[in-house]
């Protein structure tokens, strides 16, 4: 694990054609600093795995606007009408997954599980083309694990080893994505010395974490503000 | 702000809840149910990763505590936070007692459609499909008819269904239906509604089980 001075330096490893996981549930728990830097990079043909794809022209929505997204995998693109429009124009591929399936597929991807069966989506349009199997008299759908080249996530605090703790509902997909990408880049509000976080409150042990930066954007009651 | 019709539906839905239940509230009318739940009566779960949701006053808002609708909520005594995989393990694994959901359509097999409208550019499913397969009891809350006056309680959903699972209870501004042994039963009229209006606005076949 290495602490980087800026989002630009931490993200220099991102290349065109890669798959990027992005944490957060809307703005809450989103790596806002890293997202704003990612959209400035000269890369394209990205596959983005994230619950949402920002809002129109905001956050990951900017990446879409700049036509840098080849495919989006997520569960709720409703908040950004550009996603539907881009899909209709054939500019992006979309893989829509139930939110629990999205979460479990990322968990599986980080845990060495290739696929799993879930009851969710059986008999619906989202299960079309997917293998099904009966267990104990009930039908299940085969879902495959998700993995990425890079994950950008948000945590509350990191220590100098890269151990992470999260804050309230800003946790969401972040600890899962920390396990499922080759390079895991985290932004945090505070970096403390190893030993300062309580051992049994660490949610993501440092072995999952590659790069840490201090967040420059903080979500407040009044919206997102620049900090530090 | 919610209108009186939505408030009446939410208030009626709250009466379905029993002491100590774990309850997940969907977006829209279901969110309003929280306003009618007595303090400490049930434990509210939200799929973005929290058990123990309660109301929050303007000055106590923490931008990092939100519900599935991304609205600010408060933290009840004994609340906990968890990641999205654990949250959906609770849902899919049958640990949530009741889910209250909004719908676009519901049919006479009590199957619901609430995630997609053909020809519309809205792409999202969220946690709806997981809640349908996992919650022990599913209550749906909806206006009886759409804005253009068409019945939302149909013979068969013509929007894509959310699950093959039938819901247990349907609460509208006109009536309460229960799905029992493969049939819809009208069990209650909402205040101010009469049977004729319910019949005229319900496309689905139902059994009159009014007492």
A78-125 residue pLDDT tens: 989 999 999 999 999 999 999 999 999 999 999 999 999 999 999 999
Ordered by where they begin, the domains of chain A are: 2-226 (3.40.1080.10)
List, in sequence order, the alpha helices (H) in chain A.
7-10, 32-38, 60-65, 81-88, 99-110, 174-177
Q: How many domains are contained in chain B?
A: 1
Residues 119-178 of B with CB under 8 A from A: 120-130, 133-134, 160-164
Domain at B175, CATH number = 3.40.1080.10
CA B14, B16, B22, B28 torsion-angle sign: negative
Cβ of residue A126 closer than 8 Å to a chain B Cβ = yes
| Maximal CA-CA distance, chain B | 49
Residue of A26, A100, A167 lying closest to B88 (CB–CB): A100
Helix then strand then coil, in percent of chain A rounded to 5, is 25, 35, 45
pLDDT of residue A228: 63
pLDDT of residue B38: 82
First vs last C-alpha separation in chain A: 23
pLDDT of residue B133: 98
Cβ of residue A180 closer than 8 Å to a chain B Cβ = no
pLDDT of residue A83: 94
Using one digit for the tens of pLDDT, what is the confidence trace for A123-174? 999 999 999 999 999 999 999 999 999 999 999 999 999 999 999 999 999 9
> H or E stretch including B91?
helix B84-92
Q: Are the CB atoms for B139 and B101 separated by under 8 Å?
A: yes
Task: Reply yes or no on whether the pLDDT at A47 is more than 60.
Answer: yes
- Kindly determine whether residue A85 and residue B121, on different chains, have CB atoms separated by under 8 Å: yes
Across the range A43-49, mean pLDDT stands at 97
Using one digit for the tens of pLDDT, what is the confidence trace for B145-161? 999 999 999 999 999 99
The residue of chain A with its CA nearest to that of B161 is: A124
- Chain B residues lying within 8 Å of A166, measured CB to CB: 81
Q: Mean pLDDT of all residues in chain B?
A: 95
- As a whole number of angstroms, the distance between CA A28 and CA B101 comes to 23
Helix, strand, or coil here: A98?
A: coil
Cβ of residue A219 closer than 8 Å to a chain B Cβ = yes
Task: Reply yes or no on whether the pLDDT at B66 is more than 60.
Answer: yes
Q: pLDDT band at residue B1, thresholds of 50, 70 and 90?
A: low
* Vertex A36 angle, CA A32 and B27, to 5°: 45
Task: Reply yes or no on whether the pLDDT at B53 is more than 80.
Answer: yes
Backbone angles phi, psi at B30, to 5 degrees: -55, -35
Using one digit for the tens of pLDDT, what is the confidence trace for B175-190? 999 999 999 999 999 9
**Residue A214 bridge partners (DSSP):** A188
Across the range B44-67, mean pLDDT stands at 96
pLDDT of residue A55: 87
Strand-pair category, A46-49 with A19-22: parallel
Q: Mean pLDDT of all residues in chain A?
A: 96
Task: Reply yes or no on whether the pLDDT at B128 is more than 90.
Answer: yes
Helix, strand, or coil here: B104?
A: coil
First vs last C-alpha separation in chain B: 35
The model's pTM? 0.97
- Best mutation target, A81, A100, A178, to test chain B (most B CBs within 10 A): A100
Domain span at B59: 4-208
pLDDT of residue A227: 79
The residue of chain B with its CA nearest to that of A96 is: B124
Active site residues of B: 47
């Amino acid at each position: 694990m290495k602490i980087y001075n800026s989002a630009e330096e931490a993200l220099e490893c991102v290349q065109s054609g890669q798959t990027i996981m992005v944490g957060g549930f809307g703005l809450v728990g989103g790596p806002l600093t890293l997202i704003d830097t990612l959209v400035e990079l000269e890369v394209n043909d990205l596959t983005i795995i994230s619950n949402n794809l920002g809002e129109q022209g905001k956050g990951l929505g900017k990446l879409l606007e700049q036509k840098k997204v080849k495919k989006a995998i997520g569960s709720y693109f409703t908040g950004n009408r550009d996603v539907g429009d881009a899909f209709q124009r054939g500019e992006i591929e979309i893989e829509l997954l139930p939110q629990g399936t999205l979460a479990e597929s990322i968990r599986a991807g980080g845990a060495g599980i290739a696929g799993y069966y879930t009851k969710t989506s059986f008999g619906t349009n989202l299960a079309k083309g997917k293998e099904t199997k009966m267990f104990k008299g009930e039908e299940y759908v085969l879902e495959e694990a998700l993995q990425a080249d890079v994950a950008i996530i948000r945590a509350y605090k990191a220590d100098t080893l890269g151990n992470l703790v999260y804050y309230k509902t800003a946790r969401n997909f972040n600890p899962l994505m920390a396990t499922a990408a080759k390079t895991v880049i985290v932004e945090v509000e505070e970096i403390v010395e190893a030993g300062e976080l309580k051992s049994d409150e660490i949610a993501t042990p440092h072995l999952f974490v590659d790069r840490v930066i201090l967040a420059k954007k903080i979500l407040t009651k009044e919206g997102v503000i620049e900090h530090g | 702000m919610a209108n009186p019709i939505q408030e009446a539906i939410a208030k009626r839905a709250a009466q379905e809840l029993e002491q100590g239940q774990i309850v997940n509230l969907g977006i829209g009318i279901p969110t309003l149910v929280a306003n009618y739940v007595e303090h400490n009566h049930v434990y509210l779960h939200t799929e973005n990763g929290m058990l123990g949701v309660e109301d929050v006053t303007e000055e106590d808002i923490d931008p990092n505590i939100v519900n599935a609708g991304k609205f600010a909520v408060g933290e009840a005594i004994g609340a906990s936070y968890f990641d999205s995989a654990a949250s959906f393990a609770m849902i899919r694994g049958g640990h949530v007692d009741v889910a209250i959901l909004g719908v676009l359509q519901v049919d006479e097999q009590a199957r619901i459609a609430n995630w997609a409208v053909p020809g519309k550019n809205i792409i999202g499913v969220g946690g709806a499909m997981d809640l349908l397969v996992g919650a022990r009891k599913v209550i749906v809350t909806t206006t009886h008819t759409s804005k253009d006056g068409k019945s939302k309680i149909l013979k068969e959903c013509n929007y894509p269904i959310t699950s093959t699972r039938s819901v247990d209870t349907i609460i509208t501004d006109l009536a309460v239906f229960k799905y029992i042994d493969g049939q819809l039963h009208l069990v209650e009229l909402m205040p101010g509604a009469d049977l004729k209006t319910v019949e005229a606005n319900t496309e689905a076949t139902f059994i009159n089980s009014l007492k």
